[in-house]
Chain A
Amino acid sequence: ILNVEQSPQSLHVQEGDSTNFTCSFPSSNFYALHWYRWETAKSPEALFVMTLNGDEKKKGRISATLNTKEGYSYLYIKGSQPEDSATYLCAFDNAGNMLTFGGGTRLMVKP
């Protein structure tokens, strides 16, 4: 069983704060690391698919970095807004027809 862990499990921040959370994954058989954003009552939405060690991707105020050698990825949100409130999921992709999801980080941004 692949071990994909996310921390923290939940996070409360004030509007305007910047925040980050972690996904750790196995460093062997790595193909890609995915980040998804899952809002209540909606389906998960793909944010990033990262493949290269040292990769950094950005989408608006959200960015992510990848370290495949040590098996972790960080997701950063700059200047959090209430609409950023969601569960953020990472998934380890070994290209073997399986993605293993972490437990998610539930972010709540207070206005």
Chain B
Amino acid sequence: GAVVSQHPSWVICKSGTSVKIECRSLDFQATTMFWYRQFPKQSLMLMATSNEGSKATYEQGVEKDKFLINHASLTLSTLTVTSAHPEDSSFYICSARQDGGSPLHFGNGTRLTVT
């Protein structure tokens, strides 16, 4: 089955550090990748949608300068949390799909803790 690899699984960083999270589709080409954030006891909140080779589309309320998304190839998207602060501590998860209507395949998520 389709596999999406997300790294790192867990990262702890000091306030002010920038953290990059990678999302790779291992055995399929992902035209679209999605980035989500999960707040405690809540469902997935879509942060942005990225299409290969074009700028990401951010959801309302998500700062694009804070959460930089790059989708440079059909198998790789990255999310960089710039100048992280403790309130950015959260669980971030990516998903990818081949084309419209096909199911999403999720990465295992990244737990970010900012001290």
CB of A98 within 8 A of CB of B46, answer yes
Q: Which residues of A contact B46 (CB under 8 A)?
A: 98-101
Residue of A nearest to B103 (CB): A46
Cβ of A46 and Cβ of B100 under 8 Å apart?
no
The answer to whether A97 touches B43 (Cβ under 8 A) is no
Which residues in B have their C-beta under 8 angstroms from that of A43? 4, 93, 106-109
* Contact A97:B57 (CB < 8 A) given known A89-B44, A103-B42: yes
* Residue A44 is within 8 A (CB to CB) of chain B in the complex: yes
CB–CB A42/B104 < 8 A? no
Give the size category of B's interface with A: 20 to 34
Task: Given A89-B44, A101-B46, check contact A31 B93 (CB 8 Å).
Answer: no
B103 partner, pick from A34, A96, A97, A103, beta carbons under 8 A: A34
Q: Which 3 A-B pairs have the closest CB atoms?
A: A46-B103, A43-B106, A95-B100
Q: Which B residues are within 8 Å of any A CB, using their own CB?
A: 4, 32, 34, 42-44, 46, 49, 51, 57, 93, 95, 100-109
Give A residues with C-beta under 8 Å from B. Answer: 31-32, 34, 36, 42-46, 49, 51, 87, 89, 91, 93, 95-104
Could you pull out 21 A-B pairs where Cβ atoms are within 8 angstroms? A31-B101, A36-B104, A42-B108, A43-B107, A44-B104, A45-B106, A46-B103, A46-B104, A51-B101, A87-B43, A89-B44, A91-B104, A95-B101, A97-B32, A97-B49, A97-B51, A98-B49, A99-B46, A101-B44, A101-B46, A103-B43
